[in-house]
Amino acid sequence: MSRGNTVVPLTRPQKRRQGRFGEFDVAVPLARGGTAGVYLGTNTETGGRVALKVLDPQFAGCADVVERLYAEHELASRTRHPGLLEIREARETADGLPYLVMEYLEGEALGALSERVDLELGMIVAITAQVASALAALHAVGVIHCDVKHDNVLVLDEQIGAWPRVKVIDFGVSRLVDAPPDPRATIAGTPWCMAPEQWTGTPSTASDVYALGCLLYELTTGAPPFDGSLPELMFAHMEQRPARPSWLRFMPIQLERVILRSLAKDPADRPTMAEVATELGDLMDVYTPAVTKCA
């Protein structure tokens, strides 16, 4: 099961990478993935900060890995949305090491936040409404994210009104809607939130809706819709119906309806991401947040 170049925030000190990438001085590591590291870069003239995703040197000669890294820039650049990570450039050092120049964000992964804080329903709705809006913009230009999950949602240290801003990150396994089948490709995604069709290697924009439904289910109830070994998860996502989330936590029927419709086995029975964004946006007005800041 491929997870592409998914990067995760560092939880312990890592070796610093000293160097110069174009106009950026690089030192502080921010995150680590299977084939690349993400580092804080500082513009030597302006002092502005960026995040640099640098391919590990041992993969620089691997055409598939390099192509996948550059594809992140190509796919992310197809649209601009305040809820999507901005990948500004794809570059190569003088000695042939590929890297991406991305906007630098300060915040916390949704997974870490949900483990640290008991999120109120209003906060969950506000966060996932922004995620749905960002993904709807991606779908509108023919891109499927393919890995919607906690760790790919960054909750920023800034607010929109009463709610924190969020960004959808990591396009490491994203693909075009009309991409031709690739016999070399492996099934990509995260098993606990993969749609039935994604298990067979045929994801669509509806697969992102399903994954967001899984995320909503887990955030609201404290447990994923299905659990178990890899074969058990595949069977459950394809054949079983999850318990109604309202059995595990009181919630408005409108919210439960969004979750269950998003988890429909048949992609044609799921709402579009734009419809999910609208429904969650309407639900935001129901809640008055207990706090105005994630602390």
- Which two three-digit tokens encode residue 16? 């610093």
Is the model's pLDDT at 183 over the cut of 60? Answer: no
Whether residue 119 is contained in a domain is answered as yes
Q: Supply the pLDDT for residue 185.
A: 59
Q: How far apart are CA 25 and CA 226, in angstroms?
A: 45
Are 54 and 24 within 8 A, CB to CB?
Answer: no
Of the candidates 56, 74, 103, which is a domain's last residue?
103
CATH of the domain at 137: 1.10.510.10
Instruction: Give the closest residue to 35 by CA, choosing from 191, 176, 170.
Output: 170
183 and 94, same domain (yes or no) = no
Whether residue 235 is contained in a domain is answered as yes
CA atoms lying within 13 Å on the CB side of residue 213: 32
Q: Supply the pLDDT for residue 6.
A: 46
Q: How far apart are CA 48 and CA 64, in angstroms?
A: 32
| Max CA separation in the chain (angstroms) | 58
Q: How far apart are CA 125 and CA 140, in angstroms?
A: 22
Is the model's pLDDT at 9 over the cut of 70? Answer: no
The residue type at 140 = A
Could you give the number of structural domains in the chain? 2
- Look at the chain and count its residues: 295
Q: How far apart are CA 123 and CA 85, in angstroms?
A: 21
Q: Supply the pLDDT for residue 187.
A: 73
Whether residue 169 is contained in a domain is answered as yes
Output the 3-class SS for 218-275.
HHHHCCCCCCCCHHHHHHHHHHCCCCCHHHCCCCCHHHHHHHHHHCCCCHHHCCCHHH
Is the model's pLDDT at 86 over the cut of 60? Answer: yes
Of the candidates 88, 103, 118, which is a domain's last residue?
103
Tell how far CA 273 is from the center of its chain. Answer: 14
136 and 228, same domain (yes or no) = yes
Instruction: Give the closest residue to 119 by CA, choosing from 89, 150, 85, 83.
Output: 150
277 and 262, same domain (yes or no) = yes
From residue 17, alpha-carbon distances to 1, 9, 29 in Å are 29, 16, 7
Buried b (16+ CB within 10 A) or exposed e, 260-276: bbbbbeebeebbebbbb
Annotated active-site positions, please?
147
Task: Please give the radius of gyration of the chain, using alpha carbons only, rounded to the nearest integer.
Answer: 19
Whether residue 7 is contained in a domain is answered as no
Instruction: Give the closest residue to 163 by CA, choosing from 137, 105, 212, 124.
Output: 124
- Residue 39 — very low, low, confident or very high, per pLDDT cuts 50/70/90? very high
Q: How far apart are CA 52 and CA 25, in angstroms?
A: 10
Using a pLDDT cut of 70, give the percent of the chain over it: 89
Q: Supply the pLDDT for residue 1.
A: 44
pLDDT digits 0-9 by tens, 51-62: 999 999 999 989
187 and 57, same domain (yes or no) = no
158 and 51, same domain (yes or no) = no
For residues 148 and 15, the model is more confident at: 148
- Which two three-digit tokens encode residue 83? 């809820």
38 and 169, same domain (yes or no) = no
Is the model's pLDDT at 97 over the cut of 50? Answer: yes
Of the candidates 51, 68, 103, which is a domain's last residue?
103
Query: Lowest-pLDDT range, 112-116, 202-206, 287-291?
Result: 287-291
Tell how far CA 267 is from the center of its chain. Answer: 20
199 and 274, same domain (yes or no) = yes
CATH of the domain at 80: 3.30.200.20
Which range of residues forms the domain containing residue 155?
107-287
Query: Who contacts 8 (Cβ-Cβ below 8 Å, separation ≥6)?
Result: 31, 32, 33, 109, 151
161 and 26, same domain (yes or no) = no
Are 205 and 197 within 8 A, CB to CB?
Answer: no
For residues 9 and 42, the model is more confident at: 42
Tell how far CA 231 is from the center of its chain. Answer: 24
Angle between helices 273-284 and 205-221 (to 10 degrees): 30
